[in-house]
């Protein structure tokens, strides 16, 4: 017997150490990809690609706020210069001419194949004359010295034109050569990270580099520069801030809830060793849940980690039932508890597992993670309570005798049962409320789950307007059998989109073909360049009347001749340039082997894109217009519907389990009635408070059933045995108080996903206990408690 106990304890310790090892090497994320389907359709795949790898997801918008313009300009230049040498960034732009010249040599060497103005008309005598005259006129402009240096090899200005094209869209206003936001006392920068939007650690490292570089620049400038403030925004910034917010909230509410629970436990246990023993199932469950998710998915979502704090609310009940109901240590007390109470606790645990097991069938990783976490945590906590905890109790173990308290509670229950009609009355009112608000019951937006504050979203919108930066709003997608076919299709769509730009429907658009034209387009452009002899003749005629001589442009003729015979560019040729990262986010290989080209649209000054006009322009092109926000909300709606159906399936599984275990339909109804009534009443209360329900409220409803099932089952057991025992009732109330303390603190977390759980489960658990008591069958011994 002793060796079995020792083997059990050794196995438990080894399992805990294994969980700790897994957790120590786990990866954690807070991005919203967990709310995306595992096998997405075309729309969902575009959303996945944009959230995880899209160009917009890699942009960090930077503002430097301060009163003195000269300080802000100096800080902008110093910050941009430092970040351009940092490997964490693909590109950094603050309006300076040097901002887009990281790949200048590549652009210069391939200016003809990349420039859409490389046409036969450009190389006619008239075309050359006007192009060279334009380049000469630019000598008097701020970039005149650079134009002068390029003039012998590039008199047509192809390189400068290409640089301006790649800068893209409407540019922010400039002061002293850098971007500024008029009237806001702010200079502006935009940085593109090398890390993808899904790489939260990479985004955090990039943010740290920006903050460090800014602090260094302030220190070097000294004086009033220290008064300037750095502001950051963008999807990556939101992801990092969300992870930090969730982590901070989890730590804060865990501490507060933990203190409350410990205080409650100590009031009964009156022993620190017993308290620590009582928390062992909780810690075991949390460790097992996180490890199970990490092993199953390779990454732990922040939402799942936050959910860990809620597991305390149910798993701490197991040790309470053991300590309070058994009342003493020793083999006799342990056997009595295992025989009388463990079957009920086991059934309650299995009821919870059945409810959460249906989440494993979900197509959404975030929901599946919650299911894995809950099942692993509950099973581990229950097994530790059953097989480990009884053998760790000290010889003189004893807790506060709650039989007197239980007797008082029992008398109160008998009094309350006279008003059991209140329960169906409240349920009826709840049903009326829910039916009346059925159209606005659920929040339709995925953003309702986001911990990003309204203030941060407002700052992001302000910076985007000032920078003219793209957002993850509208984009056009077109497919091709190969990468080159997709590029060719993107060029054809680009022609239609330029017409929309001319009409003011859109302000502009980006395209992978801007950075890598299709093979056919490249060949057409190179074919437009005349042979060297013909070019010299036309050049001599073109410079007549201009203050230059043909001999100046010998490098132009030689390089044009070399370009005529150059091989077309491929993706591989761009692999060592910043362009490759951009194309990588706009030209995507799909699971079926085809390729998609994405063309993000920039909204006009009104901020709204007329989707009807864009769709009309795309008719017959094979391209489709997508709005990322609408796609995400549509996916969230399907996510919510799936969870609703899975919840109903879980309820069905629970009903079957109870029918098998209790072997009485009447008893099953008696167990489920208070739980479902509590869910209805809490939900209607939230609706009356003006709360739109989200996915996490639904998970909270499942937790009400999971936690409340123990209460209902113990009251059902009491009705069969002639009345619930005072000590058992005291253990239920005591367990309920710890549950309310654990979940109630979540309501003040400030994180929507955690707050939703708190405001649902906190009052829901209390109401489930009250309703279980009110609806329990009145027995003779219970009535006798009054006498």
Instruction: Identify the residue with better confidence: 420 or 781.
Output: 420
Distance CA 365, CA 363 (A): 7
Distance CA 631, CA 634 (A): 5
pLDDT at 723 exceeding the cut of 80: no
Would you state the structure tokens that stand for residue 577, as one six-digit string? 């340039």
Between 29-38, 412-421, 530-539, 721-730, the lowest mean confidence (pLDDT) is in 29-38
Please report the pLDDT score of residue 384 as a whole number.
94
pLDDT at 129 exceeding the cut of 90: yes
Tell me if 401 is assigned to some domain. Answer: yes
Distance CA 110, CA 526 (A): 10
Angle between helices 422-436 and 665-688 (to 10 degrees): 50
Instruction: Identify the residue with better confidence: 101 or 455.
Output: 455
Please report the pLDDT score of residue 38 as a whole number.
64
Please report the pLDDT score of residue 137 as a whole number.
84
Between 4-18, 496-510, 637-651, the lowest mean confidence (pLDDT) is in 637-651
> What's the pLDDT band for 274 if we cut at 50, 70, 90?
confident
Please report the pLDDT score of residue 427 as a whole number.
96
Length of the chain: 787
Half-sphere exposure of residue 405: CA atoms within 13 angstroms, side-chain side: 13
Distance CA 556, CA 152 (A): 6
Instruction: Identify the residue with better confidence: 765 or 314.
Output: 765
Query: Average pLDDT over the chain, rounded to whole?
Result: 85
pLDDT at 458 exceeding the cut of 80: yes
Half-sphere exposure of residue 382: CA atoms within 13 angstroms, side-chain side: 22
Distance CA 167, CA 149 (A): 21
> What's the pLDDT band for 17 if we cut at 50, 70, 90?
very high
pLDDT at 524 exceeding the cut of 90: yes
pLDDT at 783 exceeding the cut of 50: no
Distance CA 762, CA 536 (A): 84
Tell me if 162 is assigned to some domain. Answer: no
Distance CA 196, CA 193 (A): 7
Please report the pLDDT score of residue 46 as a whole number.
67
Stretch 195-203: mean pLDDT:
83
Cβ–Cβ < 8 Å for 159, 114: no
Cβ–Cβ < 8 Å for 747, 689: no
Please report the pLDDT score of residue 393 as a whole number.
80
Please report the pLDDT score of residue 39 as a whole number.
64
Neighbours of 545 (CB within 10 A): 7
Sequence-ordered list of residues with C-beta below 8 angstroms from that of 83, at least 6 positions apart, any chain: 89, 92, 191, 209, 210, 213
Tell me phi and psi for residue 89, to 5 degrees.
Answer: -120, 135
Please report the pLDDT score of residue 491 as a whole number.
95
Tell me phi and psi for residue 107, to 5 degrees.
Answer: -65, -45
Distance CA 329, CA 335 (A): 10
Cβ–Cβ < 8 Å for 583, 512: yes
Instruction: Identify the residue with better confidence: 616 or 32.
Output: 616
Tell me if 530 is assigned to some domain. Answer: no
> What's the pLDDT band for 699 if we cut at 50, 70, 90?
confident
Stretch 105-116: mean pLDDT:
91
pLDDT at 158 exceeding the cut of 70: yes
pLDDT at 444 exceeding the cut of 60: yes
Please report the pLDDT score of residue 785 as a whole number.
43
DSSP for residue 388: I
Please report the pLDDT score of residue 576 as a whole number.
79
Stretch 569-582: mean pLDDT:
82
> What's the pLDDT band for 168 if we cut at 50, 70, 90?
low
Tell me if 198 is assigned to some domain. Answer: no
Place of tokens 């501490």: 255
Place of tokens 């367990």: 735
The highest-confidence range among 195-204, 242-251, 455-464, 693-702, by mean pLDDT, is 693-702
The domain containing residue 387 runs over which residues?
2-27+238-450+632-784
String of DSSP letters for 400-445 = ---HHHHHHHHHHHHHHHTTTTHHHHHHHHHHHHHHHTGGGSB---
String of DSSP letters for 319-356 = HHHHHHHH-S-SHHHHHHHHHHTHHHHHHHHHHHHHHH
Instruction: Identify the residue with better confidence: 335 or 565.
Output: 565
Among residues 282, 309, 310, 307, which one has the least CA distance to residue 370? 307
Torsion on CA atoms 541, 545, 550, 556, rounded to nearest 10: -90
Stretch 273-279: mean pLDDT:
87
Please report the pLDDT score of residue 437 as a whole number.
93
Stretch 97-120: mean pLDDT:
82
For 241-270, write each residue's pLDDT tens digit. 888 887 788 788 878 888 888 898 888 888
Domain count along the chain = 1
Please report the pLDDT score of residue 41 as a whole number.
66
Stretch 317-334: mean pLDDT:
74
pTM (global) more than 0.95: no
DSSP for residue 62: E
Cβ–Cβ < 8 Å for 287, 20: yes
- The 3-state DSSP class for residue 192 equals strand
Helix (H) or strand (E) holding 597: strand 595-602
Please report the pLDDT score of residue 6 as a whole number.
85
Residue 186 β-bridge partners: 65, 181
Cβ–Cβ < 8 Å for 388, 9: yes
The highest-confidence range among 203-212, 237-246, 312-321, by mean pLDDT, is 203-212
Tell me phi and psi for residue 273, to 5 degrees.
Answer: -60, -40
Distance CA 1, CA 7 (A): 10
Between 304-313, 371-380, 472-481, the lowest mean confidence (pLDDT) is in 304-313
- Dihedral sign from CA coordinates of 53, 55, 60, 61: negative
Counting residues of the chain whose pLDDT is more than 90, the rounded percentage is 39
Neighbours of 610 (CB within 10 A): 16
Q: Could you tell me where the beta strands, DSSP code E, fall in 269-329? A: 300-301
Between 132-141, 200-209, 673-682, the lowest mean confidence (pLDDT) is in 132-141
Tell me if 167 is assigned to some domain. Answer: no
Please report the pLDDT score of residue 169 as a whole number.
54
> What's the N-to-C CA distance of the chain in angstroms?
46
Please report the pLDDT score of residue 784 as a whole number.
42
Among residues 202, 232, 190, which one has the least CA distance to residue 83? 190
Please report the pLDDT score of residue 579 as a whole number.
79
Among residues 578, 605, 611, which one has the least CA distance to residue 508? 605
Instruction: Identify the residue with better confidence: 724 or 531.
Output: 531
C-alpha Rg value of the chain to the nearest Å: 34
For 619-636, write each residue's pLDDT tens digit. 999 999 988 777 778 877
pLDDT at 722 exceeding the cut of 90: no
Sequence-ordered list of residues with C-beta below 8 angstroms from that of 53, at least 6 positions apart, any chain: 196, 197, 198, 584, 585, 588
pLDDT at 53 exceeding the cut of 70: no
Tell me if 593 is assigned to some domain. Answer: no
pLDDT at 643 exceeding the cut of 90: no
Cβ–Cβ < 8 Å for 751, 249: yes
Stretch 156-168: mean pLDDT:
80
Neighbours of 393 (CB within 10 A): 20
């Amino acid at each position: 017997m002793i060796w079995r106990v020792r083997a059990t304890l050794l196995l438990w310790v080894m399992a805990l150490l294994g969980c700790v090892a897994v957790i120590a090497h786990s990866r954690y994320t807070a991005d919203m990809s967990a709310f995306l389907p595992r096998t997405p359709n075309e729309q969902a795949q575009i959303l996945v690609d944009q959230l995880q790898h899209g160009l917009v997801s890699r942009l960090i918008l930077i503002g430097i706020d301060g009163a003195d313009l000269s300080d802000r300009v100096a800080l902008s230049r110093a910050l941009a210069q430092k970040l351009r040498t940092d490997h964490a960034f693909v590109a950094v732009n603050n309006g300076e001419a040097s901002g887009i010249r990281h790949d200048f040599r590549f652009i210069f060497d391939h200016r003809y194949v990349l420039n859409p103005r490389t046409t036969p008309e450009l190389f006619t005598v008239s075309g050359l004359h006007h192009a060279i005259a334009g380049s000469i006129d630019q000598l008097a402009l701020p970039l005149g010295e650079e134009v002068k240096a390029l003039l012998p090899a590039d008199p047509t200005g192809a390189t400068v034109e290409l640089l301006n094209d790649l800068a893209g869209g409407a540019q922010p206003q400039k002061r002293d050569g850098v971007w500024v936001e008029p009237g806001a006392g702010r200079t502006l920068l935009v940085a593109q990270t090398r890390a993808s939007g899904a790489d939260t650690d990479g985004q955090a490292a990039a943010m740290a580099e920006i903050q460090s570089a800014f602090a260094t620049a302030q220190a070097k400038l000294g004086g009033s520069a220290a008064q300037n403030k750095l502001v950051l925004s963008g999807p990556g910034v939101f992801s990092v801030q969300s992870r930090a917010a969730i982590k901070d909230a989890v730590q804060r509410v865990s501490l507060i809830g933990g203190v409350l629970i410990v205080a409650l436990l100590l009031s009964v246990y009156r022993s620190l060793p017993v308290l620590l023993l009582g928390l062992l199932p909780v810690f075991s469950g949390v460790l097992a849940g996180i490890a199970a998710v990490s092993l199953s998915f390779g990454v732990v979502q922040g939402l799942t980690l936050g959910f860990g704090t809620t597991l305390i609310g149910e798993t701490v009940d197991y040790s309470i039932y053991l300590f309070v109901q058994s009342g003493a240590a020793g083999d006799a007390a342990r056997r009595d508890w295992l025989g009388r109470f463990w079957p009920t606790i086991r059934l309650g645990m299995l009821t919870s597992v059945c409810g959460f097991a249906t989440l494993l069938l979900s197509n959404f990783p975030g929901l599946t993670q919650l299911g894995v976490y809950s099942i692993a945590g509950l099973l581990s906590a229950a097994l530790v309570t059953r097989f480990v905890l009884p053998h760790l109790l000290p010889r003189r173990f004893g807790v506060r005798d709650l039989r007197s308290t239980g007797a008082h509670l029992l008398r109160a229950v008998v009094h309350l049962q006279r008003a059991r009609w209140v329960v169906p009355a409240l349920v009826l009112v709840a049903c009326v409320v829910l039916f009346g608000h059925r159209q606005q019951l659920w929040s339709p937006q995925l953003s309702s789950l986001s911990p990003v504050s309204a203030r941060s979203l407002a700052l992001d919108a302000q910076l985007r307007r000032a920078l003219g930066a793209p957002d993850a709003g509208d984009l056009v997608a077109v497919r091709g059998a190969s990468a080159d076919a997709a590029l060719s299709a993107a060029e054809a769509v680009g022609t239609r989109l330029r017409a929309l730009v001319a009409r003011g429907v859109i302000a502009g658009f980006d395209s992978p073909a801007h950075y890598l034209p299709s093979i056919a387009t490249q060949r057409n452009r190179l074919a437009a360049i005349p042979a060297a002899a013909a070019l010299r003749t036309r050049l001599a005629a073109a410079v007549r009347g201009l203050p230059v001589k043909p001999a100046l442009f010998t490098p132009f003729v030689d390089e044009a001749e070399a370009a005529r015979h150059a091989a077309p560019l491929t993706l591989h040729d761009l692999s060592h340039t910043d362009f490759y990262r951009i194309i990588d986010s706009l030209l995507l290989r799909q699971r079926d082997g085809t390729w998609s080209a994405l063309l993000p649209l920039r909204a006009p000054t009104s901020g709204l894109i007329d989707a009807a006009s864009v769709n009309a322009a795309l008719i017959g092109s094979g391209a489709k217009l997508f709005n990322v926000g609408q796609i995400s909300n549509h996916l969230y709606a399907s996510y919510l519907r799936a969870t609703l159906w899975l919840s109903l399936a879980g309820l069905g599984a629970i009903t079957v389990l109870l029918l098998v275990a209790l072997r009485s339909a009447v008893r099953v109804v008696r167990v489920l009635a208070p739980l479902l009534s509590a869910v209805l009443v809490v939900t209607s209360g939230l609706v009356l408070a003006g709360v739109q329900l989200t996915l996490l409220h639904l998970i909270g409803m499942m937790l009400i059933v999971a936690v409340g099932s123990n209460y209902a089952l113990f009251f059902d057991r009491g009705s069969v045995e002639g009345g619930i025992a005072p000590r058992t009732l005291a253990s239920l109330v005591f367990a309920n108080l710890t549950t309310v303390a654990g979940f109630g603190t979540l309501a003040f977390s400030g994180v929507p996903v955690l707050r939703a759980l708190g405001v649902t489960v906190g009052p829901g658990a209390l109401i489930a206990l009250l309703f279980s008591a009110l609806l329990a069958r009145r027995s003779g011994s219970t009535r006798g408690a009054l006498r």
